[in-house]
Amino acid sequence: KQEVTQIPAALSVPEGENLVLNCSFTDSAIYNLQWFRQDPGKGLTSLLLIQSSQREQTSGRLNASLDKSSGRSTLYIAASQPGDSATYLCAVTGSSASKIIFGSGTRLSIRP
């Protein structure tokens, strides 16, 4: 049974810092991995999608990496801004491309 873990559960850093959020999964037979952002009380916004054959994806100040063999992904945020404050969720789709399993999220706070 796939389990997705995100560490840390919460993170607070001053504005301008670069930071890394971590995601690990127990079953390496995945179809893809997705990073989402969720603002309080709101839905999810897709940030980056990494297919199982890919190693990383980049969008603006965000870079996500995937190491299937070790069951890890990282989300790197460069030059953080207060507007980056949100909960970041990692989600894995199994190899049958069906169910998505979510991590519990990292609550990020960027201090001005």
Partner 1 sequence: SAVISQKPSRDICQRGTSLTIQCQVDSQVTMMFWYRQQPGQSLTLIATANQGSEATYESGFVIDKFPISRPNLTFSTLTVSNMSPEDSSIYLCSVEPFGNTEAFFGQGTRLTVV
Residues near partner 1 (CB under 8 A): 31-32, 34, 36, 41-46, 49, 89, 91, 93, 97, 99-100, 102-105
Contacts of 84 (CB under 8 A, 6+ apart): 77, 108, 110
Closest CB to partner 1 among residues 9, 79 = 9
State in angstroms the smallest separation of the CB of 61 from partner 1. 20
- CB burial of 80-93 (b: ≥16 within 10 Å; e: otherwise) equals beeebbbbbbbbbb
Q: How far is the CB of 19 from partner 1 (least distance, A)?
A: 20
Q: How far is the CB of 111 from partner 1 (least distance, A)?
A: 22
Closest to partner 1 by CB, 18 vs 95, is: 95
